Amino acid sequence: MADLRNNFVGIKSPNPFWLASAPPTDKAYNVERAFKAGWGGVVWKTLGEQGPPVVNVNGPRYGAIWGADRRLLGLNNIELITDRDLYTNLREMKQVKMNWPDRALIASIMVPCEEESWKAILPLVEETGADGIELNFGCPHGMSERGMGAAVGQVPEYIEMVVRWCKQYTRMPVITKLTPNITDVRKPARAAKSGGTDAVSLINTINSITSVNLDTFAPEPSIDGRGSHGGYCGPAVKPIALNMVAEIARDPETYGLPISGIGGITTWRDAAEFLVLGAGNVQVCTAAMTYGFKIVQEMITGLSDWMDAKGHRSLDDITGRAVPNVSDWQYLNLNYIAKAKIDQDACIKCGRCHIACEDTSHQAITQFVDGVRHFEVMEDECVGCNLCVNVCPVENCITMEELPPGSLDRRTGKIVDPNYANWTTHPNNPMAVQAAE
């Protein structure tokens, strides 16, 4: 059986599935239920300093994007950090950790960008027995207008400064949560590493307005006739999150920096993709809010079964395995050739492949043969873009068939070069030539 036990910067949990800092981790009741369901750890909803209370809206807090089948693809939320008293949260955290010593409990923290504020809250959190802290430098709404959250996460110098304070004033491992609302996520990651962070977590939510009510002309969710930008999360953000995780994992300046992957994780396969791209564990929110805490059981079983089937004994066997295969475009093998092929037995004659190719691509799919409705790829015109594969409603009806080296590429009339299977060593690649010299 695959061993799913996780050791992330010294924080141990029975599996790599943590609940992210969010509404599901706002109180002991929720967290206890999560642990009973099987979650390996939780990041408690973000704590603020003791002082003027945080006040959330008493109305709709979520906007949504749905698929055609009403499946939830994305949530926009305008909820702030915890609006519960700091000491109430601290008492509950301490009790939960005592009840569940084998589970990871991380405190998410956001206080003003002042040394005394961080110095004051860290000992209070440490006294709870929490396993670590996560610095919330990502929240894009509400708190960022007050100079916290993403307002800090978008300034690498501030990130480095606060991380240094935290490493100075606490024994706990420090995880720095990064905002995706930035041009190059590597820069804040480098700053966090320079400050001494033990790990980074990403992505936090993306600035968004999901929809506008065309009767009231206000963004949704609407509060008394007005709306605000919020944080976007859920399955729709997964591609953005995967790319940002990979960027940090393969950056020479942050190589080896532990990563907690966040963003649209709904299934075991999603989690596995984050792990192989360099994440040491994963955090989940929207899936739990959509399907309930027990969804973790499917994630645990699915990941374990896949690892067993592939012969992977532990998480160390898969973590980062895909990172060497993430390349900049100029290093892709331009001698690789693949063509689309339609399985005529599976084809339902809907014509979506034809119209997509005819209108927007390379006019490489027939519509009629001898007056009969028939769809077939014309290899001479096919450039292997695989648009037809993606628009076809029948899974595996259209596949991409690789042409082996030495075969004829009918589109160009040239032989697929068998001597240069890898573009990174091709003599026409200037980077390869420069490296050889």
> Which residues are known to be catalytic?
139
The residue whose two tokens read 């802290």 is 133
Confirm if 38 and 15 have CB atoms less than 8 A apart.
Answer: yes
Half-sphere exposure of 5 (CA within 13 A, CB side): 6
Among 261, 206, 202, which residue's Cα sits nearest to residue 77?
206
Distance CA 275, CA 287 (A): 18
Distance CA 61, CA 223 (A): 9
Among 98, 170, 101, which residue's Cα sits nearest to residue 132?
170
Amino acid letter, 30:
N
Note if the bond before 203 is cis, omega within 30 degrees. yes
Amino acid letter, 247:
E
| DSSP code of residue 326 | -
Helix, strand or coil, per DSSP, at residue 106: strand
Among 26, 5, 27, 28, which residue's Cα sits nearest to residue 17?
5
Amino acid letter, 82:
T
Q: Which two tokens stand for residue 86?
A: 């700091």
Among 80, 99, 92, which residue's Cα sits nearest to residue 143?
80
